[in-house]
A = this chain, B = another copy of it.
Amino acid sequence: MLVSALVTSVGINSGLCILFFTLYSILRKQPSNYEVYIPRLLAEGSSKRRSGFNLERLIPSPGWVSRAWKLSEEDLLLSTGLDAVVFMRIITFSLKVFLFAGIIGIFVILPVNCTGTALHEIDFADLSNNSLDVFTISNVKSGSKRLWVHFSAVYLVTGFVCYLLYYEYKYISSKRMAYFYSSKPQPHQFTILVRSIPVLAGSSVSESVESFFKEYHPTTYLSHMVIHRTSNLQSLINEAKKLYGRVIHSQSDPNQEKYKRVGFFGQKVDLVDHYEKQLEDIEENLRLEQSEVSWAGEEIRAAFVSFKSQYGAAIAFHMQQSTNPTHWVTEQAPEPHDVYWPFFSSSFLRRWISKLVIIVACTILTILFLIPVLLVQGLTNLSQLEVWFPFLKSILTITFVSQVVTGYLPSLILQLFLKIVPPIMVFLSSIQGCISHSDIEKSACNKVLWFTIWNIFFATVFSGSVLYQLNIFLDPKNIPAKLAVSVPAQASFFIAYVVTSGWTSASSELFRIIPLICSLIRKPFAKSTDDDLEVPSIRYHNDIPRILLFGLLGITYFFLAPLILPFLLIYLCLAYIIYRNQFINVYAAKYETAGKFWPIVHNSMIFSLLLMHAIAVGIFTSKKLSLASTLIFPLPVVTLLFNEYCRKRFLPNFIAYSAEVLIKKDKEDQNDATMAEFYDALATAYQDPALLPIHYSANADSLNSPLISSSEI
């Protein structure tokens, strides 16, 4: 790639960025788009729809940028929770790393590379006609003493990244503690989930749970809630929801036909009445079913067990309960609204096998993903298209069209395929046995991360067949040598990738293009109110892996091709503004993991460092500076030791709270006057929502009778 090509690409993408920012600055001010751009403020009632036209609405104003930039961490913590703070710290962490690496890279390594002569001397007279490779390590001669500069840079940046990682882990760890101390008593802190409950013949699951915990946790046990199989209730509820939608639709739409012919003689019946009648029937049905399920429905051998203190719950969670470790399996309960109800398979063996199957499926999907993509991409070659669609022949002969088809279509197809991966991973995580939305999100985040690293980084670097790639990893000795050959060669590709995929995607995120289109389509038909507005929650499994991929690129390329760093820095600044904004206005926190995403970030950064060391070993060997490649070896060892230390020092606090913390918190809570109230709420906090009464039909209130009550309390 020539410098001129890069400059062109940067120009186009900067233009797009500015266009998107400007458009967003205008669009966000149109009241008709409020539910797309500030759904959160609407839902919270802190912003009202303003009607009436004024000129200001058409002039782009950058006020939101400075608002987003100035938002303090405390404000973010208060408004969106600790997860959002941790998410933003991923970006600021990357910013710090790349500022440090950037200064070394641009002011020290870049000049060394440029003045190398391995490829050809840089042509300052006609700068734009230089190949980008001139700026990479490939331009430094083999055996050159200048490579020690790169060597020192690797040591320096490793040290800096490790220092920052330690500092961040410690900071987030302390934030997590502070968050816990300052929070009100929460049901999930007092509750554990117990699975694989053994049931004696003749007794119910509920009786087993009660007798077990009264026997072994007599002083701390409070109550429990056995989980029922509610899949048929779920379908009834869905049906009721659909009918309710139709009723609303028929009532509000003046153009809709109001009557329908029914029966043998075709009497005219008012449609609204007709639906209302059906809805009442279903709700009646549902109430009967609900009471049946509650009293005599199929119990699953799993229950939420609540305790009088958080320490009591923690003891039950930490200790193996039964002599048979596969019975009475305990885990921490998620927040009540975070529970993922549809999947509650009970037996230990079944869950274990399903987990293994999903892991294998994910691995296979990750490894073999490129095969269908390459097949589909293969269809886009010109001659093939001409054979299939002869009528396109004349169009395809135009140079521009053929360039688009051959140059952009394949990458577009790859991007489209990549778009469907996060939902697939979420689906796989949801049937893997995760019991909460946050767990699903976390597990999917990990899956998407490794998928992205494999399918973008390694697939590009080792641009061969899947089997060839696998072969490389089955031959671990030669990985550094192969990386040393392939990684620098792809530098210009990744620089362009950061600019196109990074800048443009980030700024186009502002638009929320799909919600915008949906809202435009829906608007003519439905009158929506602020009450049923759905506030989206940020999809961490989608956004964290992307930032971490750029982190990997930055760390591995900073000493190979430091030119990538300024582009990454610009990307991170964009992301910083945009995410702080898409938090103020758009996204709300649906659950709070209190920073449990951080260990994923930490691990990924450690992996990036190790990859950088492997590449460095390979580079210095291939550049015939074997002393340097030997002297790199302590670095991965120390990095791994550092990682191990962090695992011991910080990770336990991200899994569970310590006895000290829990007992202190319990003591504080005891002085809280609202605890009696809280205990009452706790007893029903983990009621399956499918068993809760619903109020859709007009006279539902009168029917909302005490038929429904929990059988366990």
- A–B complex contacts, Cβ < 8 Å, 24 sampled: A177-B323, A215-B663, A216-B659, A216-B660, A216-B663, A315-B319, A318-B318, A318-B319, A319-B659, A320-B653, A320-B658, A320-B659, A321-B658, A322-B658, A322-B660, A323-B658, A325-B648, A325-B649, A325-B650, A326-B648, A326-B649, A348-B648, A474-B476, A476-B476
Cβ A656 vs Cβ B320 within 8 A: yes
What's the Cα separation between A349 and B644 when bound, in Å? Answer: 11
A532 within 8 A of B: no
> Is A376 an interface position by the 8 A CB rule?
no
A648 touches B318 (CB 8 A): no
Interface residues of A in 642-700 (CB under 8 A from B): 645, 648-650, 652-653, 656, 658-661, 663
Nearest CB of B to A514, in Å: 42
Please name all residues of chain B whose beta carbon is closer than 8 Å to the beta carbon of A322 when the two chains form the complex.
Answer: 658-660
A641 within 8 A of B: yes
Q: Does A468 contact B (CB under 8 A)?
A: no
> Within 8 Å CB of A649, what residues of B?
324-326
Interface residues of A in 480-539 (CB under 8 A from B): none
Q: Does A555 contact B (CB under 8 A)?
A: no
User: In chain A between 15 and 46, which residues have their CB closer than 8 angstroms to a CB of chain B?
Assistant: none
Whether B352 pairs with A319 at a CB distance below 8 angstroms is: no
Query: Chain B nearest CB: distance from A219 CB in Å?
Result: 9
Q: Is A477 an interface residue (CB 8 A)?
A: yes
Q: How far is the CA of A649 from the CA of B216 in the complex (A)?
A: 21
Interface: A421 (CB within 8 A): no
Decide: B477 and A474 in contact? CB cutoff 8 A.
Answer: yes
Q: Which residues of the partner chain B approach A56 to less than 8 Å between Cβ atoms?
A: none
Q: Counting CB contacts under 8 A, is A356 at the interface? A: yes
Alpha-carbon separation in the docked complex, A215 to B667 (Å): 11
Query: Bound state CA distance, A476 and B322, in angstroms?
Result: 41
A161 within 8 A of B: no
Q: Which residues of chain A from 448 to 472 have a CB within 8 Å of any chain B CB? A: none
- A316–B645 Cα distance when bound, in Å, is 23
Interface string of A288-329 (1 = CB under 8 A from B): 000000000000000000000000001110111111111000
B-contacting residues, A593-651, CB 8 Å:
641, 645, 648-650
Residue of B nearest to A647 (CB): B325
State whether A314 and B323 are in contact (beta carbons under 8 Å apart), knowing that A474-B476, A477-B474 are contacts in the complex.
no
A659-B314 CB under 8 A given contacts A356-B641, A475-B475, A477-B475: no
Knowing that A216-B660, A322-B660 touch, tell me 14 more A-B residue pairs with CB under 8 angstroms.
A315-B318, A320-B652, A320-B653, A320-B659, A321-B659, A323-B658, A326-B648, A349-B645, A352-B645, A352-B648, A356-B641, A474-B476, A475-B477, A476-B476
User: Complex: how many Å from CA A215 to CA B641?
Assistant: 35
Identify A323's interface contact among B318, B476, B660, CB under 8 A.
B660
Docked pose: A216 CA to B315 CA in angstroms: 13
- Distance in angstroms between the alpha carbons of A16 and B340 in the assembled complex: 71
Q: Which of B325, B658, B659 contacts A652 (CB 8 A)?
A: B325
- Taking each of A216, A348, A660, which has the highest tally of chain B beta carbons within 10 Å of its own beta carbon? A660
Question: Is B325 a contact of A319 with CB atoms below 8 Å?
Answer: no
Complex CA gap A251/B216 in Å reads 63
Rounded to whole angstroms, the CA-CA distance of A112 and B409 in the bound complex is: 62
| Inter-subunit contact A321/B660 (CB<8 Å) | yes
Q: How far is the CA of A476 from the CA of B177 in the complex (A)?
A: 45
Interchain nearest-CB distance for A479 vs B (Å)? 11
On chain B, the residues within 8 Å of A349 by CB distance are: 645
CB distance from A323 to the nearest CB of B (A): 5
Q: How far is the CB of A471 from chain B (nearest CB, A)?
A: 8
Q: Mark A109-152, 1 if CB is under 8 A from B, else 0.
A: 00000000000000000000000000000000000000000000
Q: 5 smallest A-B Cβ distances: which pairs? A: A325-B652, A320-B658, A319-B659, A318-B318, A474-B477
Interface residue from B323, B645, B659 paired with A661 (Cβ < 8 Å): B323
Nearest B-chain residue to A314, judged by Cβ = B319
- Shortest CB-to-CB span from A307 to chain B, Å, is 14
Chain A 147-185 interface 0/1 with B at a Cβ cutoff of 8 Å (1 = within): 000000000000000000000000000000100000000
Determine the chain B residues whose CB is within 8 A of the CB of A658 once the complex forms.
Answer: 319-323, 325
Complex contacts, A645 vs chain B, CB 8 Å: 349, 352
Distance from A552 Cβ to chain B, minimum over Cβ atoms (Å): 25
**A475 / chain B contacts, CB cutoff of 8 Å:** 475, 477
Residues of B within 8 A of A326 (CB): 648-649
Chain B neighbourhood of A321, CB < 8 A: 658-660
A215–B652 alpha-carbon span in the complex (Å)? 22
CB contacts (< 8 Å) of A215 on chain B: these are 663
Q: How far is the CB of A312 from chain B (nearest CB, A)?
A: 10
Distance, CA A645 to CA B320, complexed state (A): 16
Query: Given the complex, which residues of B lie within 8 Å of A474, measured CB to CB?
Result: 476-477
- How far apart sit A118 and B356, CA to CA, in the bound complex (Å)? 43
**Inter-chain contacts of A319 with B (CB < 8 A):** 314-315, 318, 658-659
Closest to A652 in B: B325
Assess the B177–A653 pair: CB atoms within 8 A: no
Q: Determine how close the nearest CB of chain B comes to the CB of A679; give it in whole angstroms.
A: 22
> Distance in Å from the Cβ of A338 to the closest Cβ of chain B?
24
Residues of B within 8 A of A320 (CB): 652-653, 656, 658-659
Please, which residues of chain B bring their CB within 8 A of the CB of A653?
320, 323, 325
Interfacial chain B residues near A656, Cβ < 8 Å: 320
Nearest chain B residue, comparing its CB with the CB of A659: B319
CA distance A324 to B649 in the complex (A): 7
* Complex CA–CA separation, A653 to B474 (angstroms): 36
Complex-state Cα separation, A315 to B75, whole angstroms:
39
Distance in Å from the Cβ of A602 to the closest Cβ of chain B?
15
Query: Which residue of chain B is the closest to A641 with respect to CB atoms?
Result: B356
Q: Complex: how many Å from CA A380 to CA B130?
A: 68
Q: How far is the CB of A468 from chain B (nearest CB, A)?
A: 13
- A655's nearest neighbour on chain B, judged by CB, is B320
Chain B min CB distance to A545 (Å): 28
Most chain B beta-carbon contacts within 10 A, residue among A215, A314, A324, A356:
A324
Name the B residues within 8 Å of A348 (CB-CB).
648
